[in-house]
Amino acid sequence: MILQGVPASAGYAIGKARIIREEVSHQPVAKIDPSTVAGELERLEAALARAADELSRLHAKWIGDGREQEAEIFEGHLYLIRDEELTSLIRSKIADDYFQAEFAVREAAEDIASRLSRLDDPYLQLRSADIRDIGDRICRCLSNKQEERAAPGSEREILIAEDLLPTYIAQLDNEVVVGFATSLGGATSHTAIIARSLGLPAVIGAVTNLERIEEGQTIIVDGVEGKVIVDPSEEDLASYGELRERYLRRLNELRAFGNRPTRTSDGHLVELTANIGSVKEASSAADCGAEGIGLFRTEFLFMERNDLPDEDEQFEVYRDIVQAIGPEAPVVIRTMDIGGDKELPALNLPKEQNPFLGFRAIRISLEKMDLFKTQLRAILRASALGNISIMFPMISTMQELSRAMEAVEAAKRELAEQGVPFDRAVPIGIMIEVPAAAILADRFAKVVDFFSIGTNDLVQYTMAADRMNAKVMHMNNGLEPAVLRLIYNVIQAAVAERIPVGMCGEMAGQPLAIPLLLGMGLQKFSVSGGSILATRELISRIDRREAQELLKDALELDDPDKIKACVEKWYANRQASIMMEVALGKSQ
């Protein structure tokens, strides 16, 4: 039996099912005799003290392990357990309503949880699950039970439960419990965050039929694909066993590349950032070791809705991204790149014959100035909070660029008049994805603060080959000599004007392209979050002078297949091991 859920913490685990059942979920109202109120209150105070003590120890342990982000979750719990409002609510439910202490705790926790959940604030990290967690902890302390730990055994266990609380996961014995699956929760819950930081494979939420699993059954948790395999076949066990080994080996190799700058083997620093399309991806990019956000696609704000996002809504999203990745980290926000094939229902744009050559991106923004100005104001407001840059997509002419820059100036003037803070020196850059802009790169470089080469479109426009059309797809190749020469031209133009130049297309993460790009002098690579570590590892093994030699040879060739062979040979002459799969996810 294979159950599908949401992958919440990557990795593979094989073990025996241990079913965790909710102990006291729906207790009936438990009343006490008014004469026992004093005793019940004393019992509560003792339980609160014990619970606070447990949390202090957990907090200290995680701080000691250098896991401050996780420790902060427990610090928050500690605050709540000593919270005047929560504790006085519990006390009044005992003293005034004559509730039994356990029942009073649950009722009070429920009240507070629902009050907090009504506030629509993304920063409210204390969610209803945390409040419930605290309620459970106090109840456990009330009944004088020790913190439950997995029974010491030789068998590896997979926990199966409707829901598991973050603090429960945090104190599991990692030797025994190797993974878990739950039917409630989500990938962004604190439970998932803790599981990821413990490296505990987990499938959380949306797993139906979990109740059909029986105690002791063999279970495979596939935290990469979000699968739970019950009673696997011998073949499954063998293949997952191998997958697990390979995963752990690769993880170990890559882990060394998590928290360090990206440097070529001869010491040149390059910037390695992530491409993202949502706030959620910003947090996972940070977990993946990204140095910032090289491309935030703002399209999701505009798609699949019938109205337009207002300034505050957009500001909150940009602010959340800065918060997720950190105020120092660079964040490049690309203004809306929509139209043509990506629908924008609110504007009711007509279908086009040739959407990729049509009314899209900056072309729409410059026509719909209100929409553009709203987005620019929101980005500028967020620029006061972090290291934000603005980037325009699909720029083809200098006239488009100057109109777009005028719009930025106008938005800045408005904000200044209204006394709203923003970064006056916010860098303005363009995507180089239209051949017209690539050809005039020397001119554009005199006006903008940075370039980012978008290879997906640049390749298809340069080669006039639709990447969705199977007949011509083979021509859609970044190693085509024309494409390489054009990219080199852009990089040289940027270097000549001393402006930074990066790449945010797929090519930036491709092992065959990376040495060529380094040889050309590319300074910034923006790739998908999952490719960060492998790309950093690869770059760290490349000597830039050797890459320059390789580039010289490659530029002499007229055939993309020969260029590919040339790069492969270059790799083979160095270390065979650096020809690795780019991402862990691709190792399957």
Active site residues: 190, 504
Question: Scanning residues 184 to 213, which ones bind another protein (CB under 8 A)?
Answer: none
Applying CB under 8 A, among 25, 26, 28, 119 the residue interacting with another protein is 119
Interaction pattern, residues 388-417, with another protein; x per rule: CB under 8 A: ---------------------------xx-
Q: In the stretch 72-91, what mask flags binding to another protein with x, by CB under 8 A?
A: ---xx--xx--xxxx-----
- Select from 469, 585, 480 the least CA-distant residue to 530: 585
Does position 385 interact with another protein (CB under 8 A)? The reply is yes
Question: How far is the C-alpha of 407 from the C-alpha of 430, rounded, in Å?
Answer: 15
CA-based nearest residue to 313, from 470, 474, 122: 122
For another protein, which is the closer residue by CB, 36 or 79?
79
For 71-95, give one letter per residue: b (16+ CB within 10 A) or e.
bebbbbbbebbeeeebbebbbebbb
Name which of 503, 507, 489, 501 is nearest 560 in CA terms.
Answer: 507
Q: Does 126 bind another protein (CB under 8 A)?
A: yes
Return d(Cα 571, Cα 542) in angstroms, integer. Answer: 9
152 or 419: CB nearest another protein: 419
Q: Which of residues 27, 36, 69, 125 is near another protein by CB under 8 A?
A: 125
Per CB under 8 A, 48 contacts another protein? no
Candidates 52, 347, 384, 465: give the one binding another protein (CB under 8 A): 384
Tokens of 190: 């604190």
Q: Output the 3-class SS for 341-361.
A: CECCHHHCCCCCCCHHHCCEC
Question: Can you read off the two tokens belonging to residue 202?
Answer: 């987990």
User: From the CB of 84, what's the least distance to another protein, in Å?
Assistant: 4
- Of the two residues 124 and 248, which places its CB atom closer to another protein in the complex? 124
Residue 370 phi/psi, 5-degree rounding, is -60, -45
Please list every residue from 314 through 333 that binds another protein, using CB under 8 A. Answer: 319, 323, 327-328
Which lies closer to another protein via its Cβ, residue 312 or residue 559?
312
Closer CB to another protein, 170 or 380, in the complex: 380
Candidates 31-39, 115-123, 434-442, 524-532 — which segment interacts with another protein by CB under 8 A?
A: 115-123
Cα distance between residue 490 and residue 444, in whole Å: 10
In terms of CB distance, is 48 or 344 closer to another protein?
48
Q: Does 123 bind another protein (CB under 8 A)?
A: yes
The three-state (H, E, C) secondary structure of 391-419, written as one string: EECCCCCHHHHHHHHHHHHHHHHHHHHHC
Least CB distance from residue 52 to another protein, whole Å? 14
Q: Which DSSP letter does residue 290 get? A: -
C-alpha 248/C-alpha 252 separation (Å) is 6
CB of 423 to another protein, least distance (A): 5
If one asks whether residue 36 binds another protein (CB under 8 A), the answer comes out as: no
**Which is nearer to another protein, 27 or 125 (by Cβ)?**
125
Give the integer Cα–Cα distance in Å for 228 and 209. 11
Taking the complex as a whole, the smallest distance from the CB of residue 282 to another protein amounts, in Å, to 15
Among 2, 420, 468, 482, binds another protein (CB under 8 A): 420
17 in Cβ contact with 215 (< 8 Å): yes
332: which strand partners? 389
Which positions touch another protein (CB under 8 A)? Answer: 75-76, 79-80, 83-86, 112, 115-116, 119, 121, 123-126, 319, 323, 327-328, 383-387, 415-416, 418-425
